[in-house]
Structure formats: structure tokens, C-alpha cells
Amino acid sequence: MNLWNKLMCYSRRHSPWLFHMNGGSCNGCDIELIASLTPRYDAEQLGVRLEGSPRHADILCITGPITHNATNAIKTVYDQVCGPKAVIAIGSCPATTNVFIDSRTLEGPLSKHIPVDVFVPGCPPRPDAIIQGVAKAAEILAERAGKKQPVVPVVMPLVGPGCSGACACGASAEAKNEEVQA
Ligand code: SF4
């Protein structure tokens, strides 16, 4: 690896820029992602920054069960992120389509359409779990710089209860947590 690539690896590891896309979520995961950037959790102390354009981002954060309408937009945005790049599936929806599994408007899970590097489980995941997922993705990104590597998805451990009952799916938190524990 030449000096330029080493410098790029260091920068990406210590200052990952994120682009967030909603693939049809109930907004529960989106709120937790924003919470992770607030002073209380303070992801910015790790150099994490939310970007307005995928062309400036290193990591694509996707929430929601991936609706028909969102599918092409997600593929386009994925292509717009310059390589090397990493993808984080935030919440149980992009990983499995979760409580929306029987909906005919869905084309999820996300891994059917683009390679996913890190899955952060939870419905919604806690902000600290999201920060752990971003740190893992930054690590993957730094290793990936300058070489071609196959995507080996990492599933992060569940932090706190799987379901906080905060989303709009209508299922009770107790029932969903029993399902997660089973
Ligand atoms: S249902 Fe749960 S996992 Fe899906 S978007 Fe809402 S909070 Fe996130």
C-alpha cells in the first residue's frame, strides 16, 4: 500500500462521513440515527458526520424494509458513493423486512439489491448500537482501501431490548422481544 492509500485509510478510519437513506421505514430507526449524532451520544467525537450528498460520503446507512419505490433510488445512490465504500443496514427491517414481511409493496431485504457490510439489529436499535455499527463499518472501510475484498457481512450484537415499542408497526414490544429472544 503506497503512502497516499495509507493516508486515505487513516482518514476514513478516523472520520467516516455518512449518507442516510430511508427505504420505507416507520422513522423509528431514522430518529435513533439522528439521536446518535446529538451531543448526548456524540458520534461526532469519533469524526462521524452526516453528509447531504452520497458523492461526499464513505458509508451508506439504510433504514426500512426496502419498498418497491425505494429500490431503484437505493441502487442509484449506492453507485454514487465513491469507492471504497461500506453499507450499514440499520434496524431489523432492512435485514429481514421485520414486521412488514407480508407486504406486497416490499422488495426487501436490502442484501437482495446491494452488498451490506454491517447489520445493526433492533427495532429500533439504540443510538449506542448504531455508533458501534458505524465504528465497525469504518474499520472495514480502512481495511478495504487500496485492495479488492469480498463483502463479508458482520452482524452486530443486540444492545438493550430488541424492541422499544417506539415504532409505528402496531405490534407490542413484549411480543416482539419474546420473538427476538426465542
Ligand atoms: S419497524 Fe423497527 S426496524 Fe423497522 S424501521 Fe421501524 S423502528 Fe426500524
Confidence grade of residue 167 (pLDDT, cut at 50, 70, 90):
low
Alpha-carbon span 151 to 44, nearest angstrom? 26
Higher-scoring residue by pLDDT: 176, 144: 144
Query: With 70 as the cut, is the pLDDT of residue 170 above it?
Result: no
Cell of 78: 449506492
How much of the chain, in percent, has pLDDT values that exceed 70? 85
70: CB partners within 8 A, 6+ apart: 21, 22, 23, 24, 64
Confidence grade of residue 88 (pLDDT, cut at 50, 70, 90):
very high
- Prediction pTM value: 0.86
Candidate of 33, 62, 97, 99 to mutate for ligand 1, largest count of ligand atoms within 8 Å of Cβ: 99
Atom of ligand 1 nearest to the CA of 26: 6
Alpha-carbon span 157 to 163, nearest angstrom? 14
Confidence grade of residue 162 (pLDDT, cut at 50, 70, 90):
low
Query: With 90 as the cut, is the pLDDT of residue 73 above it?
Result: yes
**Ligand 1: distance of its center to the CA of 82 in Å?**
28
77: CB partners within 8 A, 6+ apart: 19, 21, 54, 60
Average pLDDT over residues 167-177: 57
Domain 3-181 in CATH 3.40.50.10580? The answer is no
Alpha-carbon span 10 to 142, nearest angstrom? 7
Confidence grade of residue 19 (pLDDT, cut at 50, 70, 90):
very high
Computed over its alpha carbons, how large is the radius of gyration of the chain? 16
Higher-scoring residue by pLDDT: 40, 46: 40
Residue 94, preceding peptide bond in cis (omega within 30° of 0): no
Candidate of 97, 100, 123 to mutate for ligand 1, largest count of ligand atoms within 8 Å of Cβ: 123
Atom of ligand 1 nearest to the CA of 99: 1
Q: How high is the pLDDT of residue 144?
A: 80
Residue owning the nearest CA to atom 4 of ligand 1: 93
